[in-house]
Structure 1
Amino acid sequence: MDTKKIRWFTVAFIAFNMVWGMGNVVNNFAQQGITVVTSWLLILALYFIPYALIVGQLGSTFKDSKGGVSSWVENTSTKRLAYYAAWTYWVVHIPYLAQKPQAILIAFGWVGQGNGNLVSQMSMTAVALISLAIFLAFLWLSTKGLNTLKVIGGLAGTAMFVMSLLFIVMAIGAPFIAKDFHIATPDMGNIKTYIPKFDFSYFTTISMLVFAVGGAEKISPYVNQTKNPAKEFPRGMFLLAGMVGICAVLGSIAMGMIFSSGNLPNDLMANGAYAAFQILGQHFGVGNFLMIVYALTNGVGQIAALAFSIDAPLRILLADADPEFVPAWLRKKTNKGTLKNGYTLTGILVSIIILLPLLGIGDMNELVKWLTNLNSVVMPMRYLWVFFAFMMLNRAVKHFQSEYKFIKQKRLAMIAGAWCFLFTLIACVLGMVPKLDYAANPSAWWFQLASNVLTPIVLILLGMLLPFIARREQRKTSSLDLNSLNVE
């Protein structure tokens, strides 16, 4: 009896819900304006489609592996590299966790006041301390279990998905329904309006696009559950790319209709989505209703994401950690199975990132931009291990069986893996360049450059330090055991 009942279109919709959100549209529009339409088409064709299909082959080959990317790396290379893959997957969530408290504050500020003034009018010290308090509260709650919140968060995520589609439909339809609606960006009927200027500044924004379309490795468990994976899985991924492309392009056009691409608000990355729903609600005669619904669902979704992202990556790293690479003190559990010291390490690292802006960030809008761009530099680092595993898989492809293969020709497969690896790496490095005018604020520019460069380096070096500590710990234990035997 064939139990593989998931069809290609079902896989596409599951994956779409995993990788897409309205924030992807707003953040990239804030950096590139209406020209991001062309960038979306390029990133989908040159990066996202091969990325998703590479994940498909890895998921199909290692269908019984429970550790995700780290298991793929272990099966194709060494245990040490698998540890580094697991560490990377966990540690890239540190800046992500640091950003969530600000996002929660902004969302509920819009619910309460109907604008973004609550947070923007606070001092940076107040924002940092309140954000730290929010994070530490959820860090403590995560040790108690938050299953109900995670279920609510899942529902909020679905509601956010519906709201992002509703935004596109309403914005595109606004000129035909709301007679007082005026398109903000001029010449939107001219193809030249959508052509980017491919200069250095443009290439420093590519990391945000990579960040937006990343996360396809979450799809891997569904590859072998697909009916006829060799044919239907790639078909599902092409449908996924089509849906992402349509939402990205139409969403960006919708943003261009509401906000002038040549004169973007400075707070667009922080408040753009809320302001967009507020403007649409006013034109459609429902006032702030749409904005409040979006702010509530986004706020709850951010809370759930904060709770889930504290717990899940930590368990992936430490639940079955190899004593050869992870010291015993970090693997230590309470009687209830809580990774006590793992949570402590998370708390220390995230707290540092939350408080770091006090040294060189002047206001809330710059804080949101900096943290979002820092995430676009750090988070894609975990994708590098996907492409590394794919290249290693193809080096020894004869030793592995897979129901689905992205590219059957070994050399072409290696080229595809190397292309995605280098594209991600270069995007991350270029993304480190600050997105602000050096002449206007040299000290802030240097602060952001230093933090963007040092954050990933320090986080990776910390991961390299743990195996050294673990080896010393094991030698000490062996020495004590030997001494006890001699005494006996």
Structure 2
Amino acid sequence: MNEGKSKLTLVPLILMIFTAVFGFANMPRAFYLMGYAAIPWYVISAILFFIPYALMLSEFGAAFKDEKGGIYSWMEKSVGPKFAFVGTFMWYASYVTWMVNICSSIWIPLSNAIFGTDKTSTWHLFGLTSTQFLGVLGVCWITFITIVASKGLEKIKKVTSVAGTAVSLLNLVLLFAGLLILVLNKGQLAQPITGVGSFVDSPNQSYHSLISLVSFMVFAIFAYGGIEVVGGLVDETENPEKTFPKAVTIAAIIISLGYCIGIFVCGFFVNWNSVLSSNTVHMGNVAYVVMKNLGYQLGMALGTSQSVAISMGAWVARYTGLSMFLALTGAFFSLAYSPLKQLIEGTPKEMWPGKMGEITEGIPKNALKIQGIIVAVMVLLVSFGGDAAKEFFGKLVLMTNVAMTIPYMFIAIAFPFFKKKTEIKKPVEIYKSYTVSVIVTVIVVAVVGLANVFTIIEPATNGKIMDTVWMLAGPVVFSIVAIIIYYIYERKNRNKFKK
């Protein structure tokens, strides 16, 4: 049936995983929040969560290579349909919110690419405010993505390969320019290491309490999020039994090492107090501040005049903007297509209203269109709704923060059930014994669970009780919606069987 269709090989699959998971901005953001002290948390999160979780996905992926539904099929075959649907729906809902957010914020890296700085707040057209104009651009963006994604995997592969290459080059700029600055400055670090304390204590005063430190682990877990998206591509992979686990394992190691090295290299050319302590630096622009400083410090280390060094900084910021725009574009293509593909292909067609569950040429085209409309409407509501809408979206982001990591717990919990079912053929078994599988599951679930608990209670300890309430509301609301959809489907089915 799909004999003529080209399959994903090892390198494109690693690039797709890298593009979906690796966020360049996570390194400067981590350095901004924790300095060198971020590194141990990234190592802990990689060892206790990312690598064991990625290997679980390899086993699932190889065993269910012929299943079209990705993580839904894995959980449904291992535990049951209701458990699978609630977990997958919560995971999918968090990506819809992510798309709404990126539709408006993707223009910031583009502005940096063109002007060397963020000028989006000055963009106006046809009497629209900058927020409204960015909303209109966001609707155009999701329309473009939907049209291209509905053409199939071939188009997405091209974009993600370009994006993967661009972000890889950006990392090389950070690494080699950082090393060159270190050599030219005769080994003098911009952020000095004063002993073991530099890797334990954050220069950021907001990250000194135990609760805030452990809640940082959710930030690290977020940095590793997205690998389950490629679970839906097992059926598109050439020789999946060998290629898929190999790609996941290689990508996991590269990503883990990449983050740790990148955070460390930031200290070669960024002094936290002089560059990052300003009130004008925040999570949204810190990547550009850091990379602009990289260009400036490289110029100064090379002995250029200050004006040349400032110009070098602006050009590095432009390249950073372009690379991050391409990386976000690649991630957007993957995340607009894969979560929806897994949700629609895994679940029974009757679960969805009208023609939403129909698959045409291997693509849920109707569902893609509906998804595009939902995202476009939400973008317009947020951008044209004034302060109330912004407040609503702020709460939506809080709801998503925790909801995005809880599905990792669903998948991990399903793993021992999967291992116990002897009727499921397992061509790849990394965890040989059932006991080891249970221990690994407990560790992964405990790490994600604890990190989430600390993230939820952290705002409350600083007097922001409503933020804690909204974080709790996300998983609860998404779960209720999923249970209602499933309940309606079950009732319809009961009536059908009675006839």
Structure 1-normalised TM-score? Answer: 0.78
Whole-Å Cα distance in 2 between the matches of residues 320 and 241 of structure 1?
Answer: 26
Q: How far apart, in 2, do the equivalents of 1:150 and 1:408 lie?
A: 34
Correspondence 1:465 to 2:471: no
- Which residue of structure 1 lines up, in the alignment, with residue 4 of structure 2? none
Between 201-210 and 466-475, the greater mean CA deviation after superposition:
466-475
Number of aligned residue pairs: 459
AA aligned to 1:169 is F
Distance 1:420 1:35, change over 3 A: same
Of residues 448, 458, 463 in structure 2, which corresponds to 1:424?
448
Q: 1:247 aligns with which of 258, 269, 275?
A: 258
How far 1:324 sits from its partner (Å)? 5.0
Partner of 1:288: 314
Q: Is the 8 A contact 1:26 1:273 kept in 2?
A: yes
Partner residue in 2 for 1:194:
199
The answer on 1:27 being equivalent to 2:6 is no
Give the alignment partner of residue 75 of structure 1, picking from 77, 82, 86.
Answer: 77
- Alpha-carbon distance between aligned partners in 2 of 1:293 and 1:337, rounded to the nearest angstrom: 35
Measure the CA separation in 2 of the matches of 1:413 and 1:183: 43
Contact kept? 2:460, 2:467, Cα under 8 Å: no
Corresponding residue for residue 302 of structure 2: none
Matched, 1:256 2:267: yes
Q: How does 1:97-176 map to 2 (within 5 A)?
A: 97-116=99-118, 118-119=120-121, 126=129, 128-145=131-148, 151-152=158-159, 154-176=161-183
The residue that corresponds to 2:344 in the other structure is: 318
**What one-letter code is carried by the residue in structure 1 that aligns with 2:265?**
A
CA contact 1:26–1:268 (8 Å) conserved in 2: no
How much has 1:116 moved relative to structure 2? 3.4
Amino acid aligned to 1:185: Q
Matched, 1:410 2:434: yes
* Structure 2 Cα separation of the partners of residues 238 and 312 of structure 1: 20
State the match for 1:386 in structure 2. 411
In structure 1, the residue matched to 2:227 is 216
- Aligned identity (percent) is 18
1:299/1:239 CA distance change after superposition, 3 Å: closer
**Other-structure match for 1:56:** 58
CA contact (8 A) 1:56 1:219 kept: no
Give the secondary structure class of the aligned counterpart of 2:418. Answer: helix
2:467 to 438, 448, 470: 448
Q: Does 1:377 pair with 2:402?
A: yes
**Selected match of 1:327 from 349, 353, 358:** 353
For structure 2, list consecutive stretches of 5 or more residues without a partner in the other structure.
1-6, 202-207, 300-311
1:337-357, Cα deviation, whole Å (9 max, x unpaired): 433544444445566677899
State the alpha-carbon separation in 1 of the partners of residues 282 and 441 from structure 2: 35
CA displacement at 1:423 relative to structure 2: 2.1
Shift in alpha-carbon separation, 1:14–1:328, aligned structure 2, 3 A: closer
8 A Cα contact 1:18 1:218, kept in partner: yes
Shift of 1:174: 0.9
Q: CA deviation at 1:252?
A: 0.9
Equivalent position SS for 2:404: helix
Letter in 1 for 2:366: T
RMSD: 4.2
Deviation at 1:474, TM superposition (A): 6.3
Question: 2: CA distance between counterparts of 1:427 and 1:117?
Answer: 36
What is the alpha-carbon distance in structure 2 between the residues aligned to residue 413 and residue 425 of structure 1?
Answer: 18
Structure 1 residue 434, shift from structure 2 partner: 5.8
Find the aligned partners of 1:426 and 1:410 in 2 and give their Cα distance.
24
Q: Offset of 1:416 from its aligned partner?
A: 1.2
In 2, Cα distance between the equivalents of 1:326 and 1:265? 50
TM-score where L is the length of structure 2: 0.76
Structure 1 pair 319–464 and aligned structure 2 pair: CA distance change class (3 A):
same
Q: Name structure 1 gaps, 5 residues minimum.
A: 483-488
